Structure 1
Amino acid sequence: MKNWKKLVGLGLCAALSVSLLTACSSGTSGGSEAPETTAPVEEPTAPAESAGTETASFTTIEEGKLIMSTNAQFPPYEMVADGEGFEGTGFEGIDIEIAYALAQKLGLELVIDDMEFDSALLAVQNNAADMMLAGLSYSEERDEVVDFSDSYATGVQVVIVKEGSDVTMDNLGDYMIGTQRGTTGYIYASDTPENGGYGEDHVIGYDNGATAVQELINGTIDAVIIDQAPAEEYVAANADAGLTILPGNWVEEDYCLAVDEGNTALLDALNTALNELIDDGTVQAIIDKYIAAE
């Protein structure tokens, strides 16, 4: 088990972490790349001041709007809705509702841009998005190019294998592993054995978790590393394939939102709003809506 990886961010990301009553869920995706989608949300009727949030002098890319980049293939944090979705966005999930609540606090209209995970991170760096929420966890590598908010949830990564497989947490590095490209699972697993990884020769990165799981079913790879909540959904959605999750946690880490490096005014405003939503129970209520207590 990779206990060494109890993510550096569990304390670097921020002290205010909201504990999930169960570990986080999976990212559905039908195995094909999702088209880039933009969904505006109706502008809130109450300005930020009425919600008690100090707005200071931050600016956003488009006046009056808060643009969020995401990869909506990661249930229960973000997924394309079957219908209008939350507040007519076409999306639903924990991050979607938290982003909407943040926009309400700041008196802004939320706009959601759905794209590949790597592109969502680049969108923040290139000033195409104000913030990224996508089941995003802290890492030192990412911290060099973006600034992280306080943590709002704790994520757990697990390993999916086929039932009856010889793969265990201890011998995982002897097999072929699939992950979503650009995630901390990919970063850690593909690192050198000296740094606790398995090496690039043992890891294949895919566009999304669903594709990785399908390749596990096809026998191309022997295991998939992914967050627990999505893992549980993938296993349930492929009941006939005989998938199972290995006992134990591969990694524990904090989920945060990210803004462009050096955008301290916006980060401060988002952190103030986020901590208010944590303190009044809004964030935990959103998490509980999507992840039931065991």
Structure 2
Amino acid sequence: MKHQLKMASLASCIALGMGTASVARADDPKLDVVTDPSFVPFEMMDQETGEMVGFDMDIISEVAERAGFEYNLETMDFNGIIPAIQTGNVDIAIAGVTITEERAEIVDFSDPYYDSGLRILVSADDDSVEEVEDLKGKKIGTKVGSTSYDYLEEHLGDEADITPYPGSSDMYMALLGGSVDAVFYDAPNVGYFSQTRGEGRVKVVGPLYEGQQYGIVLVKGSEWVEPVNEALAEMKEDGTYDDIHAKWFGSASDE
């Protein structure tokens, strides 16, 4: 409810802020943008309208207006996003994608637009886990193709039963159903689930692991890297980014 009130109360503010952006022209190019439909609250399907909404959706809409392009939005499983950009099947991706050296070898990233990390989620009555080391011998759910999966493989390897799921909702349902003992994934997504569908049933434990930054993904050598970066910089300078952040996460002091 608190989240919904924030969205409603700040909607007009966001609209006013976006009104200052450059308006897309009829001759603006139309790019193919892809996202992962299950990474709430960054991107998710509005069940009433059938449209994708979320923090990333507001960011890319504003970036497109300022950078001077229109776009077709597509969705796919997270695991297919980097390959789709690498092969040029789509032009841009925004899906809470962590900037890594390995990924940067095959795709281009914008400047960072969100600071994140990894967190542990367990059942509300589970007091046996306080850090990653406590996950040894347990069943852990995470997401296919994610940095959280890579982290678990590197730090626990064969010492835990690691199950990568295609969607974040799948791993959360596995935790609620008892198929896994814990979930290890991106902090904002884990936190959002714990305060919404998982409220009273799960809890976030332990420190923030691997400070990470999300970037907008573009085809290697894309001409749109600079315009996208300029748009992001303008948004942060004029307060539009802060308005969008407050709409979905609250102000920095509320986090």
Measured against the shorter chain, the TM-score band is 0.7 to 0.9
C-alpha deviation, 1:214, in angstroms: 1.2
C-alpha deviation, 1:143, in angstroms: 1.6
Residue of structure 2 in register with 1:101 after alignment: 62
Q: Is the 8 A contact 1:66 1:111 kept in 2?
A: yes
> Aligned partners of 2:117 and 2:78: how far apart in 1?
18
C-alpha deviation, 1:251, in angstroms: 2.9
The sequence identity of aligned pairs, in percent, is 27
> Aligned partners of 1:135 and 1:214: how far apart in 2?
21
Q: Is the 8 A contact 2:67 2:230 kept in 1?
A: no
Q: Deviations over 1:218-238 (max 9, x none)?
A: 222111012233223322303
C-alpha deviation, 1:131, in angstroms: 0.9
After the TM superposition, which segments of 4 or more aligned residues of structure 1 sit over 4 Å from their partners?
none
Give the alignment's TM-score, normalised by structure 2. Answer: 0.81
Which amino acid is the alignment partner of residue 244 of structure 1?
A: K
Choose the corresponding residue for 1:283, options 241, 245, 250. 241
1:145-294 maps to which residues of 2 (within 5 A)?
Answer: 145-165=106-126, 166-169=128-131, 170-191=133-154, 197-199=155-157, 202-235=161-194, 236-239=196-199, 242-263=201-222, 265-293=223-251, 294=254
> Aligned partners of 2:238 and 2:48: how far apart in 1?
30
Residue of structure 2 in register with 1:69 after alignment: 34
Q: Between the two structures, name the one with larger relative contact order (CA 8 Å, sep ≥ 6).
A: 1
> Aligned partners of 2:53 and 2:199: how far apart in 1?
24
Which amino acid is the alignment partner of residue 237 of structure 1?
A: R
Q: Is the 8 A contact 1:99 1:110 kept in 2?
A: no
> Aligned partners of 2:111 and 2:199: how far apart in 1?
37
C-alpha deviation, 1:80, in angstroms: 0.7
Residue of structure 2 in register with 1:60 after alignment: none
Q: Deviations over 1:6-42 (max 9, x none)?
A: xxxxxxxxxxxxxxxxxxxxxxxxxxxxxxxxxxxxx
Q: Deviations over 1:165-186 (max 9, x none)?
A: 2122032233221101111111
> Aligned partners of 2:87 and 2:137: how far apart in 1?
39
C-alpha deviation, 1:47, in angstroms: 4.4
Q: Is the 8 A contact 1:160 1:245 kept in 2?
A: yes
Deviates more, 1:163-172 or 1:209-218: 163-172
Q: Deviations over 1:58-99 (max 9, x none)?
A: xxxxx71122111021111111112337xxxx1111111111
What RMSD in Å do the two structures reach over aligned CA positions? 2.2
Deviates more, 1:127-136 or 1:226-235: 226-235
How many pairs were matched up?
Answer: 227
Give the structure with the larger helix fraction: 2
Q: Is the 8 A contact 1:148 1:256 kept in 2?
A: yes
> Aligned partners of 1:281 and 1:172: how far apart in 2?
41
Indicate whether 1:119 and 2:80 are aligned: yes
Which amino acid is the alignment partner of residue 220 of structure 2?
A: E
> Aligned partners of 1:106 and 1:208: how far apart in 2?
31
Q: Deviations over 1:243-270 (max 9, x none)?
A: 111042133211111112232x221221
Q: Deviations over 1:70-129 (max 9, x none)?
A: 1021111111112337xxxx1111111111111111322122111100112222112121
Gaps of 5+ in 1: 1-43, 49-62, 192-196
Which amino acid is the alignment partner of residue 138 of structure 1?
A: I
C-alpha deviation, 1:204, in angstroms: 1.0
Which amino acid is the alignment partner of residue 101 of structure 2?
A: E
C-alpha deviation, 1:187, in angstroms: 1.4
Equivalent position SS for 1:74: coil
Give the alignment's TM-score, normalised by structure 1. Answer: 0.71
Residue of structure 2 in register with 1:79 after alignment: 44
Which amino acid is the alignment partner of residue 77 of structure 2?
A: E
